[in-house]
């Protein structure tokens, strides 16, 4: 049997699947030499001040997800896939980030968000607070609040924005503006009585009150902004989408009322209205396009809901109006949800859409003054393998059957999750199901209602001023410190002169003149 498997493998890997140009050794030598020339050009470091900062966060986008998304992107373009390049692949600097929370080996999205936004590692389930705060214990919060790079940018006079495909009160975006002992306290309707009595505020309220001059907020999460049982504007007859607020407040109105006199604040909930805005006449923008999280990209109603790329385009054009620059947080948040549900096709299409948004942002900005960073908060127990041949459909079968139960298996599998299925006492035969369906749940080794995060390091891709500071293996909380250093914001500004230029860059410019004076 082993010999037969090896023969099958050899046949599948035969020259018929190899592109003709790749048979020529000169193709690979030429490619390597071009890569070498690019690497040598990086010796001339970009030490400009980062006027703009963009942090792209793929929630749950571990390295295996990045690789699979790259293959999917290529196959969507009718290519084999493996040779394709994601937009993030073309960023010149790459690092690894250690994702553990202060109390968790395998982290959650709240503690990690506090790390890469606030620069401080924290306990799982908490946002915008130090590790001195225990999850669910409101009375441990006071005095333990930590501020984010969004706040540092705002304090420096920059415009700031948040774009996400989840609720705008979800773990990732909330760490940018909120301080909470529980990531799930989206509105006061989700808070226990002792937390309300203890004076803790829900995350939606903090979105409106803590930093009221955030210029752009785009994502989902309408229901947390409106009174309990208030009908949703888009789904008026669906109870699950009704408002959740016990205090009966309309936080969209409160958001509008908090703006300075003479400033124009626009709230939209429909794609048409978002794209029709004259951004030159808008100072503040709030867009909430679903009651909860936004729809998966594969399921999105492209009449009512904007894509992540469309939201990013609007956000950048809004923020670019500020002559001092901007900070923008962009989250592809539903990569994580797809994986939790065991729906790899949903997760990978979300990752491809995030990459599309990265490409657009790259075209709308310049690497001379914009530091762009792409990373993930954590990984997932998602994998693909099985000795698949070149160009194998990423959602396809491995080229062999199991030599134990004699059944086929998909290349994509999960270590645990809802895809564990036993039929007649045996593993389900996947050839009898539509494993290419968007909602197919890939098989898993251990049955769980929700698949879990993975604990390995995640990649950090960087491009622009001071991108070389992201290199090697770092603690995750290092990321905002490096970004702030590049932009001369936050507490570490000793390297910046009065004009905001890093001293190293200023010295580099002055060296030729100093040399000339010496010769004279």
**Does position 365 have pLDDT exceeding 80, yes or no?**
yes
Residue from 244, 111, 110, 220 nearest 168 by CA: 220
The structure tokens listed for 285 are 């923008």
The reported pLDDT for the residue numbered 27 is 87
**CB-based burial of residue 2 (10 Å sphere; 0-12 exposed, 13-18 middle, 19+ buried)?**
exposed
Query: What is the spatial distance between Cα 352 and Cα 347, in angstroms, rounded to a whole number?
Result: 9
Q: Which residues are documented as binding site for Zn(2+)?
A: 59, 336, 340, 377-378, 453
Name the domain count of the chain. 2
212 and 160 in one domain?
yes
296 and 194 in one domain?
yes
Cβ–Cβ under 8 Å, residues 243 and 229: yes
Residue from 252, 226, 448 nearest 341 by CA: 448
Virtual torsion, Cα 254, 256, 258, 263, nearest 10 deg:
-170
The structure tokens listed for 230 are 């208030």
Q: Which residues are documented as binding site for Mg(2+)?
A: 59, 170, 172, 331
The C-alpha angle 150, 156, 157, rounded to 5 degrees, equals 95
322 and 405 in one domain?
no
**CA distances from residue 33 to 23, 40, 192 in whole angstroms, order as listed:** 17, 10, 61
367 within some domain: yes
Residue 502's pLDDT band (boundaries 50, 70, 90)? Answer: low
293 and 419 in one domain?
no
Residues 40-71: pLDDT tens digits? 888 889 999 999 999 999 999 999 999 999 99
466 and 442 in one domain?
no
The parent domain of residue 413 ranges over: 397-447
34 within some domain: no
Residues carrying an active site annotation: 109
257 within some domain: yes
Better pLDDT: 513 or 386 = 386
Residue 11's pLDDT band (boundaries 50, 70, 90)? Answer: very low
Which region among 20-29, 213-222, 265-274, 373-382 has the lowest average model confidence (pLDDT)?
A: 20-29
220 and 94 in one domain?
yes
CATH number at residue 189: 3.40.720.10
295 and 270 in one domain?
yes
Q: How many of the other CB atoms lie within 10 Å of CB of 505?
A: 19
Write a three-state SS string for 136-191. Answer: CCHHHCCCCECCCHHHHHHHCCCEEEEEEEEECCCHHHHCCCCCECCCCCCCHHHC
Cβ–Cβ under 8 Å, residues 121 and 101: yes
361 and 285 in one domain?
yes
505 within some domain: no
438 and 307 in one domain?
no
190 within some domain: yes
515 within some domain: no
28 within some domain: no
Strand order of the sheet with strand 412-417?
382-384, 412-417, 444-447
The reported pLDDT for the residue numbered 18 is 86
Q: Which residues are documented as binding site?
A: 59, 170, 172, 331, 336, 340, 377-378, 453
- Alpha carbon 236 to its chain's center: 31
Model's pTM, two decimal places?
Answer: 0.92
511 within some domain: no
**Does position 508 have pLDDT exceeding 90, yes or no?**
no
80 and 51 in one domain?
yes
324 and 193 in one domain?
yes
427 and 322 in one domain?
no
Query: What is the spatial distance between Cα 312 and Cα 100, in angstroms, rounded to a whole number?
Result: 29
The structure tokens listed for 212 are 């009221």
């Amino acid at each position: 049997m082993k010999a037969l498997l090896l023969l099958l493998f050899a046949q599948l890997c035969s020259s018929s699947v190899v592109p003709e140009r790749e048979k020529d050794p000169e193709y690979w030598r030429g490619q390597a030499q071009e890569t070498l020339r690019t690497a040598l050009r990086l010796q001339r470091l970009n030490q400009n001040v980062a006027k703009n900062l963009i942090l792209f966060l793929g929630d749950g986008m571990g390295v295996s997800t990045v690789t699979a998304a790259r293959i999917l992107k290529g196959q969507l373009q009718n290519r084999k896939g493996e040779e394709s390049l994601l937009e993030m692949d073309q960023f010149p600097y790459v690092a690894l980030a250690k994702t553990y929370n202060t109390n968790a080996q395998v982290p959650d999205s709240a503690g990690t968000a506090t790390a890469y936004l606030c620069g401080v590692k924290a306990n799982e389930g908490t946002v915008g607070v130090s590790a001195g705060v225990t999850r669910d214990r409101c009375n441990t919060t006071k005095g333990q609040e930590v501020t984010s790079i969004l706040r540092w940018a705002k304090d420096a006079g920059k415009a700031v924005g948040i774009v996400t495909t989840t609720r705008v009160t979800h773990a990732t975006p909330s760490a940018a503006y909120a301080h909470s002992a529980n990531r799930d306290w989206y509105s006061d309707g989700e808070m226990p009585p002792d937390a309300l009595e203890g004076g803790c505020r829900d995350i939606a309220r903090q979105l409106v009150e803590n930093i009221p001059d955030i210029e752009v907020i785009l994502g989902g999460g309408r229901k947390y902004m409106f009174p309990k049982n208030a009908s949703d504007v888009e789904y008026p007859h669906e109870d699950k989408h009704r408002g959740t607020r016990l205090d009966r407040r309309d936080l969209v109105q409160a958001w509008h009322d908090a703006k300075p006199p003479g400033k124009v604040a626009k709230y939209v909930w429909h794609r048409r209205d978002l794209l029709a805005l004259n951004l030159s006449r808008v100072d503040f923008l709030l867009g909430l396009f679903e009651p909860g999280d936004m729809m998966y990209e594969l399921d999105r109603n492209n009449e009512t809901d904007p894509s992540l790329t469309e939201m990013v385009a609007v956000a950048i054009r809004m923020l670019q109006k500020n002559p001092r620059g901007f900070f923008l947080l962009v989250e592809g948040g539903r990569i994580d949800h797809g994986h939790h549900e065991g729906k790899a096709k949903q997760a990978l299409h979300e990752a491809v859409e995030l990459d599309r948004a990265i490409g657009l942002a790259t075209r709308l900005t310049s690497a001379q003054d914009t530091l762009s960073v792409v990373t993930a908060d954590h990984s997932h127990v998602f994998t693909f393998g099985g000795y698949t041949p070149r160009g194998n459909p990423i959602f396809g079968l491995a080229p062999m059957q199991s030599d134990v139960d004699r059944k086929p298996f998909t290349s994509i599998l999960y270590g645990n999750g809802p895809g564990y299925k036993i039929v007649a006492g045996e593993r389900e035969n996947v050839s009898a199901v539509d494993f290419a369906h968007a909602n197919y749940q890939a098989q898993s080794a251990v049955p769980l209602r929700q698949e879990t995060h993975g604990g390995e390091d995640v990649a950090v891709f960087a491009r622009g001023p001071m991108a070389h500071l992201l290199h090697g293996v770092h603690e995750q909380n290092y990321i905002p410190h490096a970004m702030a250093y590049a932009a001369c914001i936050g507490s570490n500004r000793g390297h910046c002169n009065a004009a905001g230029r890093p001293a190293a860059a200023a010295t580099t410019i002055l060296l030729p003149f100093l040399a000339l004076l010496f010769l004279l």
